Structure 1
């Protein structure tokens, strides 16, 4: 069994600061997603000059889309990993304070498990969960 010697006030101070940083990171990720879409849209399209006159995403827009697709899984993984870690530390500390060391150990073990990340609409598990 794990030995426990923690200072709950210190844990909650770290959780509070880390939660604030995680929120800022989440807000930045959301803004980046919107900015990438806007930039891809504003980058223009390629149009065939020989008919039928159809337009496709231009080179810059395509590159931005590939960037978002490639790094999106990693960013979601970071968000899930952070959330599990914060929640697990909070839960384990609450069990510790209640004197339930076995439940605290279980909460710690669950928080350490690898998160499964599914991309919205893609139905794929993220590269970290698959070992990619």
Structure 2
């Protein structure tokens, strides 16, 4: 296997990827605040003309949306971090002249990350 890696180019790509990932993380954090707040203000159903109690259909839909996206967003973040770390480790090993270690680092980066969820929705 022939390798032709320019570490400075890899560093540039990883830097841009990290910057893009930070923007994605900020958007995810904004959803964690915005969706529960929107659900809180969505109102409830009341057949007597007064304010209802419990969770209305809009709030329930927003809660389900957040629960669904929370799993995806957490996985994307974990995958991005693993990919960046794997590329850095592989490039470092390449620079150090250890091609076997570089191949192992790349293999590790391709593994599916294990994500633990403490709570699906923050209230």
Q: TM-score range by the shorter chain?
A: 0.7 to 0.9
Structure with more strand by fraction: 1
Give 5+ residue unaligned stretches, structure 2. Answer: none
Q: Which residue of the partner structure matches residue 115 of structure 1?
A: 113
- The structure, 1 or 2, with the larger RCO (C-alpha pairs under 8 Å, 6+ apart) is 2
Residue aligning to 1:67 = 65
Q: Deviations over 1:78-116 (max 9, x none)?
A: 111111000100111011111111111111110010112
Larger mean Cα displacement after TM superposition, 67-76 or 26-35: 67-76
Kept in 2, the 8 Å contact 1:48–1:55? The answer is: no
Q: How many residues align?
A: 118
**Cα-to-partner distance string for 1:5-62 (whole Å, 9 max, x where unaligned):** 111111000000000000110011001111001100111234585xxxx821111100
Which residue of structure 2 lines up, in the alignment, with residue 58 of structure 1? Answer: 56
Gaps of 5+ in 1: 123-132
**RMSD across aligned C-alpha pairs, in angstroms?**
1.9
TM score, norm. by length of structure 2? 0.87
Return structure 1 stretches of 4+ with deviation > 3 angstroms. Answer: 46-49
